[in-house]
Amino acid sequence: MSEKKNDKLVVYQVFTRVFSNENLTNKTYGSLEENGTGKFNDINKKALKSLKGLGVSHVWYTGVIEHATMTDYSEFGIKPDNPLVVKGKAGSPYAVKDYYDVDPDLAVDVKNRMAEFEALVARSHQEDLKVLIDFIPNHVAREYHSDVKPKGVTDFGEDDDQRKPFDIHNNFYYLPGQSFKVPADVVSPVEVKQPYLEKPAKATGNDVFSAEPGINDWFETIKLNFGVDYQNGRAKQFYPIPDTWNKMRDILLFWAAKGVDGFRCDMAEMVPVEFWAWVTEEVKRQFPDIIFIAEIYNPNAYHEYIFKGGFDYLYDKVGLYDALRRLIEGHGNANDITGVWQNESGEFANHMLRFLENHDEQRIASDEFAGEAEKALPAMALSAFLHDGPIMIYYGQELGVKPKGAEGFQGDDGRTTIFDYWGVPEMAAWNNGGKWNTSKLSPEQKNLRKAYQEIIKFALKNEAVTEGKFFDLQYANNNGQSLNYNDSKLYSFLRYTENQKLLFVFNFDQNVSYEFELHIPELAAGMMGLNKDKLTLKGKNFKATGNVSEPFDLKIHPNSYLIFELK
């Protein structure tokens, strides 16, 4: 019998450009020279050991692949970008400019940039950490041009017939006879030496088939053609294999050959599932252990993208993230979590990647979200304990990163910029001149990091969490069935294996303690193989004996969680 696959991965997202930057000048729209940038080499063994000590298993290095930028690297043979089609001084990592190269910002020696990335991969592996990078198949930068593509590789669009709006052999969608117009609201923070010219205009990355996208569109990107004719009823042409499919497969294989262990696939649902079914099989044939994570927001597509598309894991944004965010902000209902597990239990459970922060979402500690990082600890614990699937942490989440002010293109929105050069004080304190220790962290930051570490370590070392079955206790304790059990703020469930039975109780109320009764139903006791007439509940400084007819009397403090063992 084969060993059960462990899906309890702990993914740590590193926004590579900002992660290790100790320059805290933080001038709005500051240049590389003014605001500085992190480097591959900064993520040294001490940094990686610190992540491993937190409980991390996979590091997602975000922004590795070369993207459009306002920084001029022409002296290194890299074609400059027109600033009118770049967002921010540093540029968006999701406007890929050369799929076969890495971001020169991240290299100490620009000429040696790929070797520096390869050394980071090797260091990560030496610390028993797997490496993930982004794969952005839906769109590329408007001025995509590979300076270092392997021999025999043609650029996207190089062989396109631009007279045709759609053709299976084209990489882009065209608007013949029309010229692209940069959104009127675009104001470049650097001198624009020449206008941006594109004729015929190409469709924009977020499915805008107009020569005039708006400033809130992904105007800096071009939509790639995977064989779907969007302007003619979304007709699909997948035979022969579209040229874009082959190009993308080769790109994935290129990075897998460099030791990359998996890909976080940007906006996966904007690319046809038929492509994913084909390409995941093609890549796994040569690299069977590689993993694919889909950024996806349509629950109706979950089944298809897992079981047809070949994805290992999917974002759990619309389900658990949204439900927990409402609770953290004080206007949610804990019973919504029951709806999440009902929709995602069974075949989905271990495929959902849970998170409370990433580069698209507002920081927990920001004024636009919770205001205080500690308010999310019960939600983080629930994300880790609810099912045996993976969890993800965004860099500095465990330190309570709190963005303040506008950094550049992104503005003041509760997020840490992905478009501009920036430094994060909390990260600089942890970096501490390359020591990557806690000596410069505040007591509050140390406590928060320790709390995250305890959550992760508990999730990893207890088999009831890594592989146990699940039993929701809301229905047995709500609607007045249990005294003082406020089911809109309290949530409880069981996780169990043959060897371990655990009870989890969460209080999402930020201000109120509850002394309440908790019922363990006879059905649950039977499923766990416990004696229904004698149940022992043991927790920290707590032990009680009861049965399925008599509830346990418990107390829980505001914004906290309890863990008990059942025997």
**What pLDDT digit, counting tens, does each position of 394-445 carry?**
999 999 999 999 999 999 999 999 999 999 999 999 999 999 999 999 999 9
Question: Is CATH 3.20.20.80 the classification given to domain 10-143+241-461?
Answer: yes
| Residue 288 zone, left/alpha/beta (φ > 0; ψ -120 to 50; rest) | alpha
Instruction: Report, in this order, helix, strand and coil percent for the chain, each rounded to 5.
Output: 30, 20, 50
* pLDDT (0 to 100) of residue 2: 41
Q: At 343, which helix (H) or strand (E)? A: helix 335-344
Q: Centre a 10 Å sphere on the Cβ of residue 126 and count the other Cβ atoms it contains.
A: 11
**112 contacts: CB under 8 Å, gap ≥ 6:** none
| pLDDT < 50: residue spans in the chain | 1-2
Q: What angle do CA 8, 379, 413 make, to 5 degrees?
A: 110
All CATH 3.20.20.80 domain ranges in the chain, comma separated: 10-143+241-461
Residue 1 has a pLDDT of 35
| pLDDT at residue 53, rounded to an integer | 97
pLDDT at 3: 53
Phi, psi dihedrals of residue 187, rounded to the nearest 5°? -125, 115
Q: Identify the pLDDT of residue 4.
A: 60
What lies within 8 Å, CB to CB, of 419 at 6+ separation is 87, 88, 89, 90, 91, 92, 407, 408, 409, 410
- Residues spanned by CATH 2.60.40.1180 within the chain? 468-566
The structure's pTM equals 0.97
Residue 176 CB coordination number (10 Å): 11
The CATH fold assigned to 468-566 is Immunoglobulin-like (2.60.40)
Distance CA 506, CA 513 (A): 11
pLDDT of residue 343: 87
pLDDT of residue 240: 96
> Biggest alpha carbon distance in the chain?
81
Predicted local confidence at residue 478, as pLDDT:
83
